[in-house]
Amino acid sequence: MTTVLIVDDAAFMRMVIKLMLEKSGFKVIAEAENGTEGIEKYIQYKPDVVTMDITMPEMDGIQSLKGIINHDPNAKVVMISAMGQELMVMESILAGAKTFIVKPFKEEHVIETMMKVANVTMTA
């Protein structure tokens, strides 16, 4: 079973993503509400995949992504953020994110994307 860490400052968004993923067979092992907590939980739980919001207080998703990649260069991080942040998409990919999901998103797209990223983990 593929394990997931959800990093998002909005409790509602974490709940929506968690329900979506668990319904499709993923196991959400931890949640974090900011980038700093995201890095700590990644090190603590070592999830297969991370969903990472970009705009968060304390430490944004790109800084958190860099921290996770610094700790584990093979980390599978999927960035999730609002539309109109193309520059941040590029920065995320350059920093090591596997892919990007734009809010508002469709459930099928999230599941499809997570499965693609998770498969990379399983076959590596």
pLDDT of 46-88, one tens digit each?
999 999 999 998 999 999 999 999 999 999 999 998 866 778 8
Count of domains forming the chain:
1
Domain extent, residue 32, equals 3-123
Q: What's the whole-model pTM score?
A: 0.92
- The predicted pLDDT at position 89 comes to 85
Look up the CATH number of the domain holding residue 98. Answer: 3.40.50.2300
Q: Max alpha carbon distance in the chain (Å)? A: 35
73-84 pLDDT, tens digit per residue, is 999 999 998 866
- φ, ψ of residue 122 to 5 degrees: the values are -70, -30
pLDDT in tens, 11-36: 999 999 999 999 999 999 999 999 99
Q: What does the pLDDT read at residue 122?
A: 46
